[in-house]
Structure formats: structure tokens, C-alpha cells
């Protein structure tokens, strides 16, 4: 994968934006608590386990995704920026302590803002190194998969408020 620095980021990003009917602090908690992340992160019947999160700038994350047909997809990355209850920037370009990964795929930016109704404006961006990688992610089902996971996130956050 060759970086394409002259290609505008708008051509290399995928974006999911929603208003979640849950308080921002609970949405944040679902992103940063390993047990809660395991409950919503993958569209069912996929699931994750072995979740390790060190949610701080420079901290690492690791988990394993499991598919319904026996697929096993390890995921490792680092947090580039953490602003509590507002923003997470994470990437798989590194696997830990600035150790480069063998095949970086994307950087994710998760932004949370309060709405006047007490809900959360949720913006999830996937930034890719190339247009080809963005297209690959789109064909893998980015919008559907991240959409379903976001529905699961909202439902879980709402249940924490009850």
C-alpha cells in the first residue's frame, strides 16, 4: 500500500455520522471499557474477545474478531489522541509502543458532542492511506457493518442509563 499524499483526504475517508439517543459519557464508556466494547463492536453474529484497552494517548488496544464461519481476525493498534468524552484517534499503523504494523489499513477518528436534547452527535471517520484501500473497506461493508455496530453501541449505551 503506497500512501497517496496528493490525493485529498476526502477521497480516502469513509464517514458515519448519527445522533445517538444516549448521553455522551455512556457512549464514551462503551468505547473505553473492554467488557462493554466486546458487547457492541462487531455486527452480530461476529464477536470480539481477548479485549485489552489502554485508553490514553500512546496506549495500545488489542482484540480478536471472530466470524460465524470460524474466521479469526486479530486487531492491534494504538491511540494517537484521547480527549475524554470527546475524541478518540486510533490506528492500526502501529501495534504497540510505536512498533509499526506489517500492513496498516486505517486511522479511525471518533468524535462525540452533546446535542441540546442530551443525546450524542457521533461521528466516526475511517481514514485510509489510499483510494484503493478506502474502496476495499467500502466493499467489505463499511457503511452496513459500522452502521449495525453503531446501532448496537446506541442500544448498549441506553441500557446503561436505565
Rounded to an integer, what distance in angstroms lies between the CA atom of residue 57 and that of residue 140? 29
CA 38 to chain centre: 12
Q: How far from 25 is each of 30, 35, 36, 51, 68, CA to CA, in Å?
A: 9, 16, 13, 20, 32
pLDDT of residue 5: 61
- Using 50, 70 and 90 to split pLDDT, how confident is the model at 132? very high
Nearest Cα neighbor of 62 from 14, 100, 94, 106 is 94
pLDDT of residue 92: 95
pLDDT of residue 162: 57
pLDDT at 1 over 60: no
Rounded to an integer, what distance in angstroms lies between the CA atom of residue 6 and that of residue 3? 9
User: Which residues, in sequence order, are CB contacts of 117 under 8 Å at separation 6+?
Assistant: none
Q: What is the pTM of this model?
A: 0.92
User: Mean pLDDT for the chain?
Assistant: 94
More confident residue, 6 or 32: 32
pLDDT of residue 27: 98
pLDDT of residue 2: 55
More confident residue, 4 or 77: 77
Longest dimension (CA), the chain: 48
pLDDT tens for 117-131 read: 999 999 999 999 999
pLDDT tens for 77-88 read: 999 999 999 999
* Residue % of the chain over a pLDDT of 90: 89
pLDDT at 73 over 90: yes
Average pLDDT over residues 127-141: 94
Amino acid at each position: 500500500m503506497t500512501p497517496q499524499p496528493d490525493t485529498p483526504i476526502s477521497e480516502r475517508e469513509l464517514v458515519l455520522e448519527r445522533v445517538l439517543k444516549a448521553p455522551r459519557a455512556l457512549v464514551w464508556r462503551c468505547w473505553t471499557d473492554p467488557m462493554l466494547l466486546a458487547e457492541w463492536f462487531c455486527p452480530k453474529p461476529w464477536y470480539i474477545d481477548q479485549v485489552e484497552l489502554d485508553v490514553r494517548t500512546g496506549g495500545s488496544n488489542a482484540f480478536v474478531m471472530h466470524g460465524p464461519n470460524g474466521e479469526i481476525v486479530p486487531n492491534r493498534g494504538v491511540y494517537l489522541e484521547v480527549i475524554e468524552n470527546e475524541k478518540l484517534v486510533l490506528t492500526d499503523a502501529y501495534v504497540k509502543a510505536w512498533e509499526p504494523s506489517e500492513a496498516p489499513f486505517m486511522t479511525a477518528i471518533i468524535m462525540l458532542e452533546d446535542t441540546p436534547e442530551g443525546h450524542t452527535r457521533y461521528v466516526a471517520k475511517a481514514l485510509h492511506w489510499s483510494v484503493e484501500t478506502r474502496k476495499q473497506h467500502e466493499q467489505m461493508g463499511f457503511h452496513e457493518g459500522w452502521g449495525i455496530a453503531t446501532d448496537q453501541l446506541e442500544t448498549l449505551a441506553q441500557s446503561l442509563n436505565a
